[in-house]
């Protein structure tokens, strides 16, 4: 394997700097409004400030990482930060690989958990980087029975919060102004959003896999599973701004595809468990 180097896009640092300045200016303007007069809708003001503050913090963090680079070769992976010692992990040392889809990053760590390399999805050619890591690392040996249930964390279930927050704020505004039918309409819209949200839990049964949505559940026999794949799906169709989210895909004999992403244990662990369980289940049929 030849040495390969992965960096952030050339314009990434400039993009994060400009975005950070914009969000900082918005925060200052919002705070200046407090001197003009009292805020009539405190909950709306707080939600906007939280969104702006979170976006500003992300821009600052990614601006500081924009000059980092990752170097991979036959024996190890090295994470280089300008002005700091290079962190090197050999492939056998890596015992845990966790895809943090909500935070848009991939965590690599040794058996102690003290030596960690964090790779952001925004790096160039991240799909290639992820593929090499998946090929070079092996899952840590576990004692006892294998994991059978994979679920999203409470934070992953509630995120992204932009639509629920909009629904709640708008419904509260209509309700306070006496327009209860409109508030009810927005409440129904929020309910539809919850029902149509992606699956939140996967259960590996002895002869089938059960996929749970918020409103219903579906059980798929292993004999009906054509393939289990892990694929990049772009939330933003711009290779220089996002590497996409690692999505586990279950293809069935009915021709449909079930997409799973954002689980607490990460896409890698879910993919490996599903792949092994489906192969074992099909061998029994």
Residues 244-272: tens digit of each pLDDT: 567 888 999 888 899 888 787 777 788 88
* Model pLDDT, residue 111: 81
> Using CA atoms, how far apart are residues 257 and 183, in angstroms rounded to an integer?
35
β-sheet bridge partners, residue 210: 203, 219
Give 11-20 pLDDT, tens digit per residue: 899 999 999 9
Q: Residues near 22 by Cβ (< 8 Å), separated by ≥ 6?
A: none
Paired tokens of 218: 């579906």
Note whether 202 and 209 are within 8 A (CB). yes
* Model pLDDT, residue 39: 64
Note whether 111 and 147 are within 8 A (CB). no
Number of Cβ within 10 Å of residue 54's Cβ equals 11
User: If you ran DSSP here, which 8-state letter would residue 261 be given?
Assistant: -
Number of Cβ within 10 Å of residue 109's Cβ equals 18
Q: What is the pTM of this model?
A: 0.56
Longest dimension (CA), the chain: 72
* Model pLDDT, residue 47: 76
């Amino acid at each position: 394997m030849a040495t390969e180097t992965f960096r952030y896009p050339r314009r990434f640092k400039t993009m994060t700097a400009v975005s950070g300045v914009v969000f900082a200016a918005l925060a200052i303007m919002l705070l200046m409004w407090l001197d003009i007069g009292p805020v009539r809708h405190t909950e709306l003001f707080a939600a906007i400030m939280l969104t702006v503050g979170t976006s500003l913090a992300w821009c600052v963090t990614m601006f500081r990482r924009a000059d980092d680079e990752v170097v991979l070769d036959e024996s190890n992976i090295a994470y280089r930060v300008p002005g700091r010692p290079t962190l090197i992990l050999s492939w056998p040392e890596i015992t845990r690989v966790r895809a943090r889809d909500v935070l848009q990053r991939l965590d690599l760590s040794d058996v102690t958990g003290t030596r960690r390399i964090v790779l952001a999805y925004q790096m160039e050619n991240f799909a290639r980087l992820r593929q090499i890591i998946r090929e070079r690392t092996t899952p840590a040996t576990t004692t006892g029975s294998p994991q059978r249930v994979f679920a999203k964390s409470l934070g992953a279930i509630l995120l992204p919060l932009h639509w629920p927050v909009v629904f709640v704020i708008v419904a509260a505004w209509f309700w306070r102004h006496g327009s209860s039918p409109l508030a009810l309409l927005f409440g129904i819209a929020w309910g539809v959003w919850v029902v149509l949200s992606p699956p939140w839990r996967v259960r590996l049964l002895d002869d089938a896999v059960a996929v749970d949505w918020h409103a219903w559940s579906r059980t798929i026999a292993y004999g009906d599973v054509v393939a289990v794949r892990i694929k990049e799906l772009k939330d933003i169709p711009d290779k220089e701004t996002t590497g996409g989210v690692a999505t586990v895909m279950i293809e069935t004999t009915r021709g449909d595809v079930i997409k799973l992403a954002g689980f607490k244990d990460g896409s890698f662990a879910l993919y490996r468990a599903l792949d092994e369980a489906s192969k074992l289940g099909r061998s029994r049929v």
